[in-house]
């Protein structure tokens, strides 16, 4: 064990990971787990910086675990755009993310094309977007603001509030009903969905760092994180299937016993479940993660807060909320602050692909067929080569041109929403919703960090704060 420990530590420090003697059944996964869990994405970032942006990880020959990790923009362009056909999600991705079923994140080829077209038209529908801002405003007025009023002066975990608030909203938009998770009475212990998502997203990281055979073995016998993932998937499935059943019954009633619409007829409950699960996971965590990280960054950068408030004042005037969607276009500094948050803290910190054939990356690294590619967006947002010497500073100004417009950064350099044909379909919508929420929240409430609270990240597929975001909230005199 001491020899292995030394070799593991030196491998982690060295530029090339070559772990030939991998004690597959537990020892190394456990060590790596402990070494990395404190700041997994930070550890990956440090290693990528030391290796010039790309390294090869060699697992034992029998475990099929070799992968290339990279944060190099040229490699990003190659993998996600130029040679896109050579890099697919692949069978490993599908197995790791099996809870997404046949949803868009998990499929390639024709199935992906079909869902992309379908979701593109749904997410860009103006009527739906207007409905979303209307319900969001209503939810802020009737739930979020009363919750913040009730807790004024007390310690509030704003990450938890953001998660509950986004979960209610996303269910309203995707499933058509509001589960009422966030309420003035506080968190309901009988509401297991938040925990279920968290357990799944943490277990996904585990599935990335242990050989497939190991977690499949654990899954078969219901051991450790695999037990949690199967329980959590069941909990969420029950919730979504139930919502689909109620929705279908309502539609049937509305149609007075006639046939349901074509899509509902064509779609099986399983297909609707996969799409709903995908949209809820795509929207809930990315938006709540950005919202809480932005609140934290604003609270710890008073100059940024002052500038955001100055800009909002010019648009909102004496009301509590933005009046119309067009007002959002004027909020350039807030737009830049959101970009800056997403650069330093991408809600989805890494991406995963599988090579369908042998290839050579622009960085010179050889790729063999079936090899996994892990791409760190977290590290990419912190590269001096792209973001200059002050890359670690939170500075929304870097996104604003001399003329006062948002500077366009090519997506292979700012990859928070990915680049290439599989770019996020919810980017424009996310900016709209975030600007609408953040402007109203910051205009009405002031947030200060609770003394001594340290913000740390969890080892999860979605960037999230380990001990929450403890803040003190007070009402502003608008």
Annotated binding-site residues read: 424
CA distances from 410 to 113, 139, 368, 413 (A): 24, 35, 28, 6
- Residues annotated within a binding site for heme: 424
Residue 430 contacts ligand HEM per CB under 6 A: yes
Following CA atoms 291, 416, 97, 465 in sequence, which dihedral angle do they give, to the nearest 10 degrees? Answer: -40
Cβ proximity to ligand HEM: between 17 and 394 the closer is: 394
Residue 381 contacts ligand HEM per CB under 6 A: no
Phi and psi angles of residue 268, each rounded to the nearest 5 degrees, phi first: -80, 160
CB-based contact 272:102 (threshold 8 Å): no
Residue 348 contacts ligand HEM per CB under 6 A: yes
Residue 376 contacts ligand HEM per CB under 6 A: no
Residue, CB closest to ligand HEM: 426
CB-based contact 444:451 (threshold 8 Å): no
Cβ proximity to ligand HEM: between 330 and 424 the closer is: 424
Query: Collapsing DSSP states into helix, strand and coil, what is residue 457?
Result: strand
- State the residue for tokens 């830049």: 336
Q: How far apart are CA 293 and CA 134, in angstroms?
A: 24
Residues 110-129 that bind ligand HEM (CB under 6 A): 116, 119, 123
Q: How far apart are CA 477 and CA 356, in angstroms?
A: 59
10 Å CB burial of residue 282 (0-12, 13-18, 19+) is buried
Tell me, what DSSP letter sits at residue 267? S
Say how many C-beta atoms besides its own lie within 10 A of residue 302's C-beta: 9
User: Site for ligand HEM (CB under 6 A): which residue of 334, 355, 429, 442?
Assistant: 429
Query: Collapsing DSSP states into helix, strand and coil, what is residue 127?
Result: helix
Cβ proximity to ligand HEM: between 119 and 182 the closer is: 119
Residue 425 contacts ligand HEM per CB under 6 A: yes
Q: What is the pattern of x (binds ligand HEM, CB under 6 A) and - over residues 326-345?
A: ----------------x---
CA pseudo-torsion sign 218, 220, 223, 229: positive
Cβ proximity to ligand HEM: between 173 and 333 the closer is: 173
Q: Pairing state of beta strands 359-360 and 366-367?
A: antiparallel
Q: What is the pattern of x (binds ligand HEM, CB under 6 A) and - over residues 237-276?
A: ----------------------------------------
Residue 420 contacts ligand HEM per CB under 6 A: no
For the bound state, the minimum distance from the C-beta of residue 346 to ligand HEM, rounded and expressed in Å, comes to 6
Cβ proximity to ligand HEM: between 56 and 104 the closer is: 104
User: Site for ligand HEM (CB under 6 A): which residue of 29, 59, 347, 468?
Assistant: 347
Residues lying near ligand HEM in the complex (CB under 6 A) are found at: 104-105, 116, 119, 123, 279, 282-283, 286-287, 290, 342, 346-348, 351, 416-418, 422, 424-426, 429-430
């Amino acid at each position: 064990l001491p020899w292995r420990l030394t070799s593991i530590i030196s491998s982690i420090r060295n530029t090339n990971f070559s772990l030939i003697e991998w004690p597959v059944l537990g020892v190394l996964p456990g060590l790596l787990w402990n070494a990395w869990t404190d700041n997994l994405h930070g550890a990956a970032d440090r290693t990528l910086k030391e290796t010039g942006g790309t390294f090869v990880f060699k697992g034992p020959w029998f475990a099929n675990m070799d992968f290339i990790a990279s944060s190099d923009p040229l490699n990003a362009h190659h993998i996600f755009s130029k040679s896109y056909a050579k890099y697919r999600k692949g069978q490993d991705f599908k197995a790791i993310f099996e809870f997404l079923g046949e949803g868009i994140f998990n499929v390639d080829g024709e199935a992906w094309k079909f869902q992309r077209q379908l979701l593109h038209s749904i997410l860009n529908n103006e009527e739906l977007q207007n409905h979303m801002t209307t319900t969001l405003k209503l939810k802020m007025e009737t739930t979020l603001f009363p919750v913040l009023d009730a807790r004024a002066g007390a310690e509030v975990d704003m990450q938890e509030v953001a998660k509950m608030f986004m979960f209610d909203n996303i269910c309203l938009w995707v499933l058509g009903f509001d589960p009422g998770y966030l309420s003035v009475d506080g968190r309901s212990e009988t509401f297991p969905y938040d925990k279920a998502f968290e357990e799944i997203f943490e277990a996904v990281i585990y599935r990335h760092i242990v050989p497939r055979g190991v977690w499949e073995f654990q899954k078969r016998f219901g051991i450790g994180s695999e037990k949690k993932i199967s329980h959590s998937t069941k909990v969420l499935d029950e919730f979504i299937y139930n919502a689909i059943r109620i929705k279908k019954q309502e539609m049937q009633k509305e149609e007075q016993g006639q046939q349901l619409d074509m899509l509902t007829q064509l779609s099986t409950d399983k297909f609707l479940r996969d799409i709903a699960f995908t949209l809820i996971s795509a929207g809930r965590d990315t938006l709540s993660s950005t919202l809480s990280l932005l609140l934290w960054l604003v609270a710890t950068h008073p100059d940024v807060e002052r500038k955001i408030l100055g800009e909002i004042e010019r648009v909102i005037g004496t009301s509590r909320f933005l009046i119309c969607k067009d007002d959002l276009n004027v909020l350039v500094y807030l737009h830049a602050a959101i970009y800056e948050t997403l650069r330093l803290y991408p809600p989805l910190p890494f991406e995963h692909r599988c090579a369908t054939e042998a290839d050579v990356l622009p960085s010179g690294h050889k790729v063999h067929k079936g090899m996994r590619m892990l791409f760190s967006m977290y590290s990419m947002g912190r590269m001096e080569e792209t973001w200059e010497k002050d890359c670690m500073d939170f500075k929304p100004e870097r996104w604003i041109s001399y003329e006062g417009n948002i500077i366009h950064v090519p997506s292979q350099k700012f990859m928070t929403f990915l680049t290439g044909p599989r770019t996020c379909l919810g980017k424009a919508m996310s900016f709209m919703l975030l600007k609408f929420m953040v402007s109203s929240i910051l205009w009405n409430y002031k947030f200060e960090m609770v003394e001594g609270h340290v913000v740390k990240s969890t080892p999860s597929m979605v960037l999230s704060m380990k001990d929450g975001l403890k803040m003190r909230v007070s009402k502003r005199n608008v």
